[in-house]
Amino acid sequence: MSADVLAADDGPDPDAARAEEDAALQDALAAAHAAIWGHGVLGGALPEADRPVVVAGEEAHRDVRDRVAGLLRSRGLQPAAPRAGYRLPFPVLSPVDAAALGVVLEDGVAAAWVTVLGRAVERATRELAVTVLGATELRAVDWRTRAGRSPVTEAFPGL
């Protein structure tokens, strides 16, 4: 049989796999941008006593944003920029609403990083993802507690 008849199977395309990882990282970066923006809303809806929690969460998301943006730049890619604006999924009129928004933000970030785990070809990327995912779930537990959710833990965060 001529070699021209059938296409060669050289296994997975490494460039395509790397592109999938990069796309997942861009989505995770977009989720970080959204979470940073959302923390501004949280800060306005929660009492002053809760400000350290909001600040710590926002700083964590900024750290992840900077790390992912740097990683993408090192690969010659333009990191996703924050959107000009976002629309809240529901009105945030009370501390409980704010906590519920905190859950939405952290769960969204968790989903993005689980996607990174599923698509990453670089071990270092998976190491970053599992670290970020764990920290995100810890914050989500705190927000679910404040929001009066039950249960406050999830068996499969991000899945």
Quick one: 11 or 47, whose CB is closer to another protein? 11
Asked if 102 and 147 count as a contact pair (C-beta separation under 8 A), the reply is yes
- With binding defined as CB under 8 A, does residue 25 bind another protein? no
What SS3 string covers 101-150?
HHHHHHHHHHHHHHHHHHHCCCHHHHHHHHHHHHHHHHHHHHHHHHCCCC
Residue 111 CA to residue 143 CA, distance in Å, equals 16
**27 phi and psi angles, rounded to 5 deg:** -65, -40
- Applying CB under 8 A, the span of 2-10, 57-65, 91-99, 145-153 interacting with another protein comes to 145-153
Q: Kindly identify the residues of this chain, within the stretch 91-120, that bind another protein according to CB under 8 A.
A: 104, 107-115, 117-120
How many residues bind another protein (CB under 8 A)? The answer is: 55
Cβ closer to another protein: 54 or 142?
A: 142
Least distance between another protein and beta carbon 131 (Å): 8
Query: Which residue in 5, 11, 47, 48 binds another protein (CB under 8 A)?
Result: 11
Residue 48: DSSP 8-state = G
Would you state the torsion angle of the CA atoms of residues 12, 13, 19, 20, taken in this order, to the nearest 10 degrees? -20
- Note the residues at the interface with another protein (CB under 8 A): 11-12, 17, 27, 30-31, 33-34, 38, 83-89, 104, 107-115, 117-121, 123, 126-127, 129-131, 133-134, 136-138, 140-142, 150-159
